[in-house]
Amino acid sequence: MALLPILEFPDPRLRTKAVPVDPARVTEPAFQTLLDDMFETMYEAPGIGLAASQVDVHQRFMVIDISEEKNDPRVFINPEILDRAGDQVYQEGCLSVPGIYADVTRSNEITVRFVDRQGQAQELRADGLLAVCIQHEMDHLDGKLFVDYLSPLKREMVRKKLAKQRRQAAA
């Protein structure tokens, strides 16, 4: 097991559009180890979701665990949203934008098709926080960050705040 470095805004690599995973590769040891390393990295942060893009792997998958007890690990490979209903506003954060939180409006309920860590096709109806998290992580796979929903001025303030945080951490 290993902790993976997380890319941070405004790193241009976070803008990469991820390519689909070959489902035949999912059960290979190298891919399973990468999933374990992503869970370890997410739990250590601590976070509730981590997309492969955030650890500089530009393939379409993510790990999520929204449970309090951190005992409900979920893997979504090649996710696709089949259906959406309603809107919800949630105050989001992101391991790639540390210390920044902002309200984002997303679908309240989604139906998502994906491949699980056993390589099996699945369909899931999700709402509430899980639905938010899936949509947030799927945005990463398309090179999109939650701060992109903010105005350009607010996004610039976020960039400056992160630069200052990094300067102070280094000093």
Q: How far is the CB of 138 from Co ion (least distance, A)?
A: 10
Nearer to Co ion by C-beta: 26 or 52?
52
Number of residues this chain uses to bind Co ion (CB under 5 A): 1
Alpha-carbon gap, residue 95 to 84, rounded angstroms: 26
Q: Is 90 in the site for ligand QAP (CB under 6 A)?
A: yes
Residue 31: other Cβ atoms inside 10 A: 18
Tell me the residue ranges of DSSP E strands in the chain. Answer: 49-51, 61-64, 74-92, 102-115, 121-127
* Binding residues among 57-86 for Co ion as defined by CB under 5 A: none
Work out whether 65 is an interface residue with ligand QAP (CB under 6 A).
Answer: no
Residue 77 vs 145, nearer CB to ligand QAP:
145
Nearest distance from residue 87's CB to Co ion, in Å?
20
Which member of 40, 44, 68, 137 is catalytic? 137
139's enclosing H/E stretch is helix 128-141
Would you say the C-alpha torsion 112, 46, 16, 90 has a positive or negative sign? positive
Is residue 40 part of the annotated active site? The answer reads no
Separation of CA 71 from chain center? 18
Select the residue interacting with ligand QAP from 10, 73, 98, 119 (CB under 6 A): 98
Is residue 94 close enough to count as binding Co ion by CB under 5 A?
yes
Closest CA to 53 of 143, 165, 164: 143
**Alpha carbons 106 and 76: distance in angstroms, whole number:** 19
- 79 lies in the site for ligand QAP, by CB under 6 A: no
**Region from 36-44, 89-97, 103-111, 120-128 binding Co ion, contact rule CB under 5 A:** 89-97
Catalytic site positions: 137
